[in-house]
Amino acid sequence: MHYPFEDEQYRQPDFVVEYEIDLCDEMKNAKPHQGMRTDFLYDGDDPQLDGVYMIWPELLDENGQVIEDKIPGSALHQARANMWILSEEMREFHRKRIKIGTKGYWVRGPFKVANVTVIKLGALSC
């Protein structure tokens, strides 16, 4: 069972995205689910030069509630997710880059898992 990060962190998520699972050929057998630890890659960035960032998704259901089920393959194909920046030192960097409409990807190593678009700013806007 997944417990909402908001209850553990005592704050709102940093931002919210709309996502669409889009597994590359190398990841076609992956089973996206709540609790997966993907990194964040900004659209247009080169992961080899610019790097990827520890910003983890927390999947939401159709009603905007945090999904508690962690069974592999349980992620909706298209939905929304809260996003949590793990490194406090990187918050200012991301505050300057993340805006409504910012596009990016969830990645595992060099492989893309999902396309994402920022739709709402949360704690990052403070």
Number of domains in the chain: 1
CATH of the domain at 63: 2.40.30.10
Instruction: Please give the residue that has the higher pLDDT: either 59 or 126.
Output: 59
- The pTM score is 0.92
Instruction: Burial-class residue 8 by CB neighbours within 10 Å (0-12, 13-18, 19+).
Output: exposed
Domain limits for position 79: 5-125
pLDDT at 33 over 70: yes
Q: Which residues pair with 112 in a beta bridge?
A: 107
Q: What are the DSSP calls for 14-64, one per residue?
A: SEEEEEEE---GGGTT----TT---EEEETT--TTTT--B-EEEEEB-TTS
The token pair at 71 is: 């069974």
pLDDT at 25 over 70: yes
Tens digits of residue pLDDT in 66-95:
998 888 888 889 999 999 999 999 999 999
**The pLDDT value given to residue 75:** 87
Tens digits of residue pLDDT in 96-124:
999 999 999 999 988 999 999 999 999 98
**The pLDDT value given to residue 126:** 64
